[in-house]
Structure 1
C-alpha cells in the first residue's frame, strides 16, 4: 500500500495547499462564510442516554470542524470517492481490519450519519503577499502534517461499541500487521499509545509506524468519543513523521459540545 498511502498524502497536502493559494489571492470572504453554525444545540446529557438517537449526515456536517474554527489550518472538502476507496482497505489479520479502515475515512460499526473533511496546519499568507513568499508557504504546507477528519454518529450505544472495537484492535494489533488498499500492501510494524488527549468521554491516541519499502513512516491516529459521536483523526506527513493534530482535535471536540 506504499504507493496508495503516499498518493493519498500527496493529494491531501496538495489540495489544501492549492486552497491556501486561492484563499490568499481571493481575500477573506470565503473564510467568513464558513462554520458560523451554533454547535451547542444538542442536550448536555446526550452521552448518558442509552437510547440516544444518532445524528444525520446533515447534522454532523454542521458540527464538523471548519475554516472559521482554525485560522492557521486550511481545509478541503472530502469526496465520496475517497470514502469509497477506504472501504476496500483490509488487513492480513481480520482483527486489525477496523484499525486499518479507521485510517482510511471508514468508521467502525454502522453509523447513522457521517461527515468528513481534510486539513493541513499552515498559516495562510495575507492578501498581497509576494509570489516568492506565497511559493514558500505552499512548499512548507506540502511538508506539514495532513489530517483527515471523520465524524460518525450512532444509535443507542453504537458509538461506545465502535470506539471499543478500534481500541480492542489497537491492543491486539500492537505488534504489527499488514494493510492492503488498491491492491498494494504496507507492513505496519507497531501501533503504540500516542500522546495523551483530553476531552470527550473517551479518547484513544495512537502512533502507528509503517515500513514502506524500507522507509519508516510515522502516522498518528486519534479517536475521541463524545456522547453518540466518534471523531477520528488520521494524520500523515510527506516529511515522514506526522505530528499529532492537537489543535485540530481540540477544536473538533469543542464543537461537539
Structure 2
C-alpha cells in the first residue's frame, strides 16, 4: 500500500475513533491549565445553572448560512453516537478523546454535535484543481454539552488535567479500530468564552510516521463547545490543521 494511502487509512481510524478523522484544543496564552475569565462571578452563576436538553443544544449548533464560506452538516455519518464507542487505555485521557470526537468531555447526557466544512465552491478564489481535490478541505467537528451546577467547570478541569496526565500518549479504540496517540501537548487556542483549553495530539499513522491534530474546548456558562479540525491533504506536512477562528467565534456567540 502506498504511503499516502496508508496515512489516510490511519487517519480515518483515528478520525472515527476521535471525531471522524483524528485528534485536537487551549485558550489565549494558556499553558493547558485553562484560561479563566472572571472566575469568581462566573462560578457563582454556574452553581445554580440548569443543564440544557439535547434538543435545546441542537438549536444552538451552527446552522447553514451562519458562517460564510462553510457548509454545515449533521455529522450523523461520521461522529460517534456515544462514549461507549470511544475508549482509551487511561481513564484520565477519556475527556481528551471524547472532546475530539464531538462528545461531552464531562459527566452529562445532554449533548449535540455536527460538522462544519470549508465550502470552496462558494469562494471566489477557489481553483478547479482545489475543488476536485476532495481531501484538501478542512472539516471541523463541533460538539456541545450542557451541565448542572458546576459540572461544566469540572469538565474543563478534567480536560486540562488530562493534557498533563496524558503527555506521554495513550491507546485509543473506536468501533474496534485501534490507534496510538504518542504525545499530547498544550496548545494556543482562541481564548473565547469564559474558559478555554486547547491541546495537540500526535497520532501514529500505522507505522508511517505521525500526524498532529488540535482540539479546543471552550466553556460559556454551563455549556461547553468542543472543536476538532482535520484536513487529509495536510497530513504529510507535520503541522496540525488550524481550527477556523470564524467557526469558533460564531459557535461560542450562539451559546447562552
More displaced stretch, 191-200 vs 72-81: 72-81
- After TM superposition, list the pairs within 5 Å mapping 1:17-28 onto structure 2: none
Q: Where does the alignment leave 5 or more consecutive residues of structure 1 unmatched?
A: 14-43
Equivalent pairs counted in the alignment come to 221
Q: TM-score under structure 2 normalisation?
A: 0.75
In 2 relative to 1, CA 254–141 (structure 1 residues): closer, same or farther, beyond 3 Å? farther
More displaced stretch, 187-196 vs 145-154: 187-196
Partners of 2:14 and 2:20 within 8 A in 1: no
* Aligned twin of 2:63: 66
Partners of 1:144 and 1:238 within 8 A in 2: yes
More displaced stretch, 192-201 vs 150-159: 192-201
More displaced stretch, 242-251 vs 155-164: 242-251
| Richer in helix (by share) | 1
2:50 to 31, 50, 53: 53
Q: TM-score under structure 1 normalisation?
A: 0.75
Deviations 1:113-156 (A, max 9, x none): 21211011233438xx9xxx786453345312211100000111
Distance 1:99 1:135 in 2: 37
Q: Which has the higher contact order (CA 8 A, sep 6+)?
A: 2
2:209 to 204, 215, 220: 215
1:180 to 157, 173, 182: 173
For the pair shown, the structure with the greater C-alpha radius of gyration is 1
Distance 1:139 1:88 in 2: 33
Distance 1:104 1:76 in 2: 15
2:219 to 217, 225, 237: 225
- After TM superposition, list the pairs within 5 Å mapping 1:147-162 onto structure 2: 147-162=140-155
Offset of residue 80 of structure 1: 8.2
2:161 to 165, 168, 175: 168
Distance 1:229 1:204 in 2: 14
SS of corresponding position for 2:104: coil
SS of corresponding position for 1:69: coil
More displaced stretch, 188-197 vs 228-237: 188-197
In 2 relative to 1, CA 50–139 (structure 1 residues): closer, same or farther, beyond 3 Å? same
